[in-house]
A and B are shown apart, each in its own frame.
Chain A
């Protein structure tokens, strides 16, 4: 590129600071202050990517976050790689590496380009229609589709950057630092409001900061000069905080907003070490002022997507802000006056404008006369009907529009150009307003949706509120702010605005062509390759709702959420369907406004901080003794303790055998513990458990089953009466928090008259369970002062004792069926008491066991685990636990439900034991249970809930739920697996020691 496209006139570009960067493996230069897009354009590069579906060459189209085409991959193959980045938002730095996406082997020659030629057979809904049928073929199609499509590559290694979350509370949040945002921030801060002003750009002032036009002046100064002084003034205000490079992603109800503050992305990689890359700001603002501006609309005509076609406002920004000409021979195509501002910026720098094509018959504003004075040909009442050039536009053809704008007439004229600026008027950026729940109103005169009903204490000002002329913006901003803040005077005494622009516009959503619609490619959504033809097809096929058309054509479903073309899609729908704009509503804009990185979303919650881990006081001992751990809720529980090279099965078999043959020890500290006190404690337990509690003597323990009001089993555990009005309840590990919540709910809302106090004490105690025939000998050694005789300390009772000076509670309760003692001590003594038990148990081969062995041992005894053998569809009767349901009690939670017509059905699923024909065969938990495999469809009778190989019984055992299972004892059933059927017999769920002899066994 020999031609110089850089005009050294911009104060935003530091020409003393040259920056080198790579794009598609080639090195280029730009200056500090450039975006990747402006630097590429300065190097004469427009073609940056391929479109998603047709792989058409695409160029930079805009200059901001609305960019649909110039989406690139940063630092491909590095840990910092990021896909789908808009080149228009990337500030360049030394060493930046960018590459095109969605093209192979290169952006200039792309194999997928064949799709463009095939496009007649790739209409809207093509993928749905073709590849979804027959359904079984989808897997095969998907592979090829995924390979040839896709937007960018996700990183393959750990993100080296730091992210964080910050909470911000402010009186006023101003979103957008354009002219109205700056004015709002100043008024807010000067009236004593703690104010935060944010803008997604790296500079303040929006598009007015480079508005040097003689046709829009404030107080007889250039807009840019006036605004610069304002910015200077507000930067000194005490209660105003300003954050640039901060993009509001979401505006939720109650003025809660999420914003991403970008801190290091504009720095060379080697300057980013140990700095926070991005911050997610969680902002709660008393008042929100949305000043997000507006987005220029493209125009929809045949082949409107070639590289070199840009928004007219983008061309103006590239020349005024970055000092970069987008072309040497420009044509502007417009339906309103704003393109003439672009024309004046080009004229000022002597850049050639070949012609201006204006949809309007009448063009009569001061600025248009000035443009004409510069000998620029204006084709009034004309439209572009086609464009030419593959990798860059080189020609357009234009025709006269008919009076009604529905057709083109007369001869076709061809004009040369290397850059075409389009301007279809402006669309207020109401995305955040609608996210907050705001309702829009359609303004017929200029065909825009503007904010109407505010759902919270907020206001929209400036062009996002539909004020487009400088005069309206300033005047209405001041008026609305006075009302919003309830103040008489704004900070602005007199403001004189001079504007040379006229607000007239000739809006045609889909410009007519001399070709039939089937032969045109007029893109509405550039990123997703949706054309006007696709939208019309969707309507022809019967879609009416905008939400359906959107999904069928994928219009607005790209990463840009259709910021450019959504309005045109709506316009084409209403024109085609013959309905009024506004009747269809708009599609829903969803957060985030621009994509967020996962890093920003998760912040510091990565690795070990992803979720809270709860560790028992004995955790370190388990780690030191080679335990494998299992997650139970947030707890890390010892799962099994492999010795030598044991696998899990081997370890569990050894542990289980040791526990039954001599002694085992389990860390049960994770069980939920709720301290219950008060004069009505017994009555309370009567109401929440299915069995009776009033007669439980002090010092005794009882197993309880808790139901939901629907009669289904909710939780279980042993509760001990410590005193007349004092109980300690244990719950399942996973259910602890919910049980406490449920009990509190009943106490506060249904039975506030009960004198009962609840306290969660789970973390206060360590619980050590020593079980097995030698357990008594071991605990007697640990606590020599206590009489452990069966007479003094029988099963299901409790004693207070001391280990040295440490107070402890000992419960003789059992979840294994063995003689078993649970020692509860203050948590910080947990590890030392555990070690004492290990020492005392040395001679008895005391074996630490984990949750897996615990599960096996209780399954041998047919004890249920709530949540494993139950799933909120089983009553105690279904579990064959009728014995625990009191017949005498008048009421308890869930009682009435136990004799509803549904719960008394005989054919409900019921808990049974299952024994395999081959005792070596262990069933899979979750496997289906059937009786007849020949029947079609096979009737599912139930499923396996627990299954183990029992080393004590030397056979496979399982629990399961089976329809009418209670009456099927001895019956043969089948477990159908992928390549075999396993024969089983229904058995009693208690496999071992049904009489409970082992609880008091003496060796």
Chain B
């Protein structure tokens, strides 16, 4: 079970959190302008990387804030956490 460093609360057990999929996918500002394929790209296509992945997490049983996490999915090492809207601290 991970120990997650919530950017707002500090280290907490994984059971307090909810994973929310890939990070940095911005909802299109003008969805109606998009073709089916472009909309499908936003809606369905996710990378699901084995290795370093940028993810959204929610401290659902804590401060309820969403934040981003950089996690190596091959060994579950959390490389960084950062607030929504911030630039990833790692490439």
Interface positions of A (Cβ within 8 A of B): 252-254, 256, 284, 437, 455, 709-710, 741, 744-745, 748-750, 752, 890-891, 895-897, 900-901
B30, B31, B75 pick with most chain A CB within 10 angstroms: B31
Which chain B residue shows the least CB distance to A891? B31
> Is A749 within 8 A of B31, CB to CB?
no
Given known contacts A745-B66, A890-B32, A895-B31, what 11 new A-B pairs fall within 8 Å (CB)?
A253-B76, A437-B76, A745-B20, A748-B66, A749-B56, A749-B66, A895-B32, A896-B31, A897-B39, A900-B39, A900-B40
Which chain A residue shows the least CB distance to B39? A896
CB distance from A334 to the nearest CB of B (A): 40
Q: Which residues of A contact B40 (CB under 8 A)?
A: 900
B1, B27, B60 pick with most chain A CB within 10 angstroms: B1
Instruction: Kindly supply a per-residue 1/0 record for chain B positions 12-46, scoring 1 wherever the CB is within 8 Å of any chain A CB and 0 otherwise.
Output: 01000010100000110011101010011001000
Q: How far is the CA of A900 from the CA of B32 in the complex (A)?
A: 11
> Is A749 within 8 A of B32, CB to CB?
no
Beyond A437-B75, A748-B84, A749-B84, is A896–B65 a contact (Cβ under 8 Å)?
no
Beyond A749-B56, A749-B66, A749-B84, is A254–B34 a contact (Cβ under 8 Å)?
no
Instruction: Kindly supply a per-residue 1/0 record for chain B positions 51-89, scoring 1 wherever the CB is within 8 Å of any chain A CB and 0 otherwise.
Output: 000001010100011100000000111000000110000
> Is A254 within 8 A of B3, CB to CB?
yes
> Is B3 within 8 A of A284, CB to CB?
yes
Q: How far is the CA of A603 from the CA of B29 in the complex (A)?
A: 50
Beyond A253-B1, A254-B2, is A752–B85 a contact (Cβ under 8 Å)?
yes
- The list of the 6 closest CB pairs from A to B, nearest first, reads A896-B31, A256-B1, A254-B3, A748-B66, A750-B27, A253-B76
A455, A749, A895 pick with most chain B CB within 10 angstroms: A749
Cβ contact of B75, chosen from A455, A710, A895, cutoff 8 A: A455
> Is B43 within 8 A of A709, CB to CB?
yes
Q: Which residues of B contact A745 (CB under 8 A)?
A: 20, 58, 66
CB distance from A259 to the nearest CB of B (A): 14
> Is B84 within 8 A of A752, CB to CB?
yes
Q: Which residues of A contact B77 (CB under 8 A)?
A: 455
Interface positions of B (Cβ within 8 A of A): 1-3, 13, 18, 20, 26-27, 30-32, 34, 36, 39-40, 43, 56, 58, 60, 64-66, 75-77, 84-85
Q: How far is the CA of A750 from the CA of B29 in the complex (A)?
A: 10
Cβ contact of B64, chosen from A253, A254, A710, A744, cutoff 8 A: A744
CB distance from A585 to the nearest CB of B (A): 16
> Is A897 within 8 A of B1, CB to CB?
no
Q: How far is the CA of A177 from the CA of B32 in the complex (A)?
A: 67
> Is A896 within 8 A of B34, CB to CB?
yes
Beyond A745-B58, A752-B85, is A252–B32 a contact (Cβ under 8 Å)?
no
Which chain B residue shows the least CB distance to A741? B60
> Is B58 within 8 A of A741, CB to CB?
yes
> Is A897 within 8 A of B66, CB to CB?
no
Q: Which residues of B contact A455 (CB under 8 A)?
A: 75, 77
Q: Which residues of B contact A897 (CB under 8 A)?
A: 39, 43
CB distance from B75 to the nearest CB of A (A): 6
Q: How far is the CA of A284 from the CA of B11 in the complex (A)?
A: 12
Q: Which residues of B contact A744 (CB under 8 A)?
A: 64, 66
Q: How far is the CA of A254 from the CA of B58 in the complex (A)?
A: 19
18 A-B residue pairs with CB within 8 Å? A252-B1, A253-B76, A254-B2, A284-B3, A455-B77, A709-B27, A710-B43, A741-B60, A744-B64, A745-B20, A749-B66, A752-B84, A752-B85, A895-B31, A896-B32, A896-B34, A897-B39, A901-B36
CB distance from A37 to the nearest CB of B (A): 35
CB distance from B78 to the nearest CB of A (A): 9
Cβ contact of B2, chosen from A253, A749, A895, cutoff 8 A: A253
CB distance from A882 to the nearest CB of B (A): 18
Q: How far is the CA of A92 from the CA of B34 in the complex (A)?
A: 75
CB distance from A165 to the nearest CB of B (A): 13
Q: Which residues of B contact A252 (CB under 8 A)?
A: 1
Q: How far is the CA of A900 from the CA of B41 in the complex (A)?
A: 13
Q: Which residues of A contact B13 (CB under 8 A)?
A: 284
Q: How far is the CA of A528 from the CA of B73 in the complex (A)?
A: 35
> Is A891 within 8 A of B43, CB to CB?
no
Q: How far is the CA of A745 from the CA of B40 in the complex (A)?
A: 20
> Is B36 within 8 A of A748, CB to CB?
no
Q: How far is the CA of A595 from the CA of B57 in the complex (A)?
A: 34
CB distance from B91 to the nearest CB of A (A): 22
Q: How far is the CA of A949 from the CA of B55 in the complex (A)?
A: 50
Q: How far is the CA of A748 from the CA of B3 in the complex (A)?
A: 23
Q: How far is the CA of A443 from the CA of B13 in the complex (A)?
A: 37
Q: Which residues of A contact B32 (CB under 8 A)?
A: 890-891, 895-896
Q: Which residues of A contact B56 (CB under 8 A)?
A: 749
Q: How far is the CA of A256 from the CA of B1 in the complex (A)?
A: 6
Q: How far is the CA of A269 from the CA of B3 in the complex (A)?
A: 40
Q: Which residues of A contact B43 (CB under 8 A)?
A: 709-710, 897
Q: How far is the CA of A813 from the CA of B1 in the complex (A)?
A: 47
Q: Which residues of B contact A437 (CB under 8 A)?
A: 75-76
Which chain B residue shows the least CB distance to A256? B1
Which chain B residue shows the least CB distance to A895? B31
Q: How far is the CA of A896 from the CA of B43 in the complex (A)?
A: 10
Q: Which residues of B contact A901 (CB under 8 A)?
A: 36
Q: Which residues of A contact B2 (CB under 8 A)?
A: 253-254
Q: Which residues of A contact B76 (CB under 8 A)?
A: 253-254, 437
CB distance from A308 to the nearest CB of B (A): 45
Q: How far is the CA of A900 from the CA of B43 in the complex (A)?
A: 11
Q: How far is the CA of A741 from the CA of B20 in the complex (A)?
A: 11
Q: Which residues of B contact A253 (CB under 8 A)?
A: 1-2, 76
CB distance from A254 to the nearest CB of B (A): 5
Q: How far is the CA of A750 from the CA of B64 in the complex (A)?
A: 16
Which chain B residue shows the least CB distance to A750? B27
CB distance from B3 to the nearest CB of A (A): 5
Q: Which residues of B contact A256 (CB under 8 A)?
A: 1, 3
Q: How far is the CA of A897 from the CA of B76 in the complex (A)?
A: 34
Q: How far is the CA of A407 from the CA of B18 in the complex (A)?
A: 60
Q: Which residues of A contact B26 (CB under 8 A)?
A: 750
CB distance from B50 to the nearest CB of A (A): 15
Q: Which residues of A contact B34 (CB under 8 A)?
A: 896
Q: Which residues of B contact A891 (CB under 8 A)?
A: 30-32
Q: How far is the CA of A896 from the CA of B39 in the complex (A)?
A: 8
Q: How far is the CA of A284 from the CA of B30 in the complex (A)?
A: 47
Which chain A residue shows the least CB distance to B44? A710
Q: How far is the CA of A741 from the CA of B19 in the complex (A)?
A: 12
Which chain B residue shows the least CB distance to A456? B77
Q: How far is the CA of A261 from the CA of B60 in the complex (A)?
A: 31
CB distance from A56 to the nearest CB of B (A): 42
Q: How far is the CA of A437 from the CA of B36 in the complex (A)?
A: 42
Q: Which residues of B contact A254 (CB under 8 A)?
A: 1-3, 76
Q: Which residues of B contact A750 (CB under 8 A)?
A: 26-27
CB distance from B81 to the nearest CB of A (A): 14
Q: How far is the CA of A749 from the CA of B85 in the complex (A)?
A: 8
> Is A748 within 8 A of B65, CB to CB?
yes
Q: How far is the CA of A891 from the CA of B28 in the complex (A)?
A: 11
Q: How far is the CA of A709 from the CA of B77 in the complex (A)?
A: 31
Q: How far is the CA of A752 from the CA of B2 in the complex (A)?
A: 28
